Structure 1
């Protein structure tokens, strides 16, 4: 199964279910975050937001184990990591993705992020995490929709002096 990684702290919303799933031909959605995976309300609401697509809400370790069972299956899955740290955890766990995109990262209360784009807030810790993701050989794009301009997020982080 082809896996596409989408980092978005909004998790499942219209752009994901309509635009990204269609673009990738995804026939399932996997939401990945340890806190969300144990939240009973999120576990009920997120699959409902997926508009009929099969959806799982899993912690990072559970997601790694589950996604590895799908390696030889046909189709595609959109894997939505809530944070860059969740995404890095999936890569550290040995998963391979066709693409890595950041759809949205709103500022987190109590942090001092830099707004790299109007829809992406990045702390210095996030910047380091994105750089670690690229060390796996990925180019990270910051796109809200597939039609957005194709930009390299790490290059933008360097321009903003978040990385050298």
Structure 2
């Protein structure tokens, strides 16, 4: 079952690998990113951040539907990670029963009209529009780098 759905521009890194996998007793991490799924160097690099007893799988964004459905029905505790909000929306449409999305780092260059939340999250107007579509359907979107941080509710910050 998918325990946590995370949007993070760095995908998998030490902080995420250790803290979130411990909190949710994660057995398996699914990274959905077409570029990474087709780049052996990126996959090897991301595997270095994976905790020893956790499996790591990579999927292309357009062809992950069956894997997502199988994972949701499995007994695994799974963490699903995407890099950006376009991918998050695409994946969320495949698994709309997910009720919460965690936002990690989004460190893009700040454009006019962007919303900066703390030092690690900059949401461009296009990101905000996608978030509004998701939140309009009753999905909770929260910002936290690690579980021990105070949760920031995007639903409270952004009017839909």
TM-score range relative to shorter protein? 0.7 to 0.9
Query: RMSD of the alignment, in Å?
Result: 2.0
TM-score normalised by the chain length of structure 1: 0.86
Q: For residues 70 and 116 of structure 1, what CA distance do their matches in structure 2 show?
A: 32
Instruction: Show the counterpart of 1:161.
Output: none
1:25 aligned to 2:25?
Answer: yes
Q: For residues 98 and 47 of structure 2, what CA distance do their matches in structure 1 show?
A: 22
Structure 1 unmatched runs, 5+: 159-163
Instruction: Show the counterpart of 1:155.
Output: 156
Match runs of 1:96-107 below 5 Å: 96-97=97-98, 99-107=100-108
TM-score normalised by the chain length of structure 2: 0.87
Q: For residues 94 and 65 of structure 2, what CA distance do their matches in structure 1 show?
A: 6
Alignment length (residue pairs): 158
1:10 aligned to 2:3?
Answer: no
Instruction: Show the counterpart of 2:130.
Output: 129
Cα deviation, 1:21-59, whole Å, max 9, x if unaligned, reads 111111111111122222221122212321322101111
After TM superposition, where is structure 1 displaced by more than 6 Å over at least 4 residues in a row?
Answer: none
Instruction: Show the counterpart of 1:48.
Output: 48
Structure 2 unmatched runs, 5+: none
